[in-house]
Structure 1
Amino acid sequence: MIGVLLVGVLVLVLGGCGCVVWAARGGPPWTHRVAAATQAAGSLVRWYSREQRRVDRRRRDSVEDG
């Protein structure tokens, strides 16, 4: 079951990346919307990753000071 979910996520990611490229080359209007959603999702993932690193760093620093 988890494998099917991971394959589904992979298909969505690859499709979104394809739409980003197609929209950059002047694709139909729907590709621009999908590309914008893909880029927004990527920004959200990057923000979350940075936030997790900050939290981990604070947690490590507080343990070392403790």
Structure 2
Amino acid sequence: MSMLVLVLSGVLVLAIGGCVCVVWAARGGPRWVRAVAAGTRMAGELVSRSGRTNRSTGGSADSDA
């Protein structure tokens, strides 16, 4: 259980750090910040696309709305 909490905490810290880099890059941060922000945006797009494909193949009540 504690290992799971540790892993999830690490993922949360990485996500928050990525969001901070996206905001900082939008304000003209250094090159490494723009690189991290690009990676964060790419990862977010991948997660978003995978969520869309899972929902569309699921055929659940979401399509009834």
Considering the TM-score relative to the shorter chain, is it more than 0.5?
yes
- Which residue of structure 1 aligns with residue 51 of structure 2? 49
Indicate the structure (1 or 2) with the bigger Cα radius of gyration: 1
**Runs of 5+ unmatched residues, structure 1:** 61-66
Deviation beyond 2 Å, 4+ runs, structure 1: none
| Percent of aligned pairs sharing the same letter | 53
Aligned residues: 58
1:25-48 deviations in Å (ceiling 9; x for gaps): 011000000000000000000000
What are the equivalent positions in structure 2 for 1:19-38 lying under 5 Å apart?
Answer: 19-38=21-40
1:1-60 deviations in Å (ceiling 9; x for gaps): 000000000000000000000000011000000000000000000000000001101xx5
**Runs of 5+ unmatched residues, structure 2:** 61-65
Amino acid at match of 1:7: S
Amino acid at match of 2:54: Q
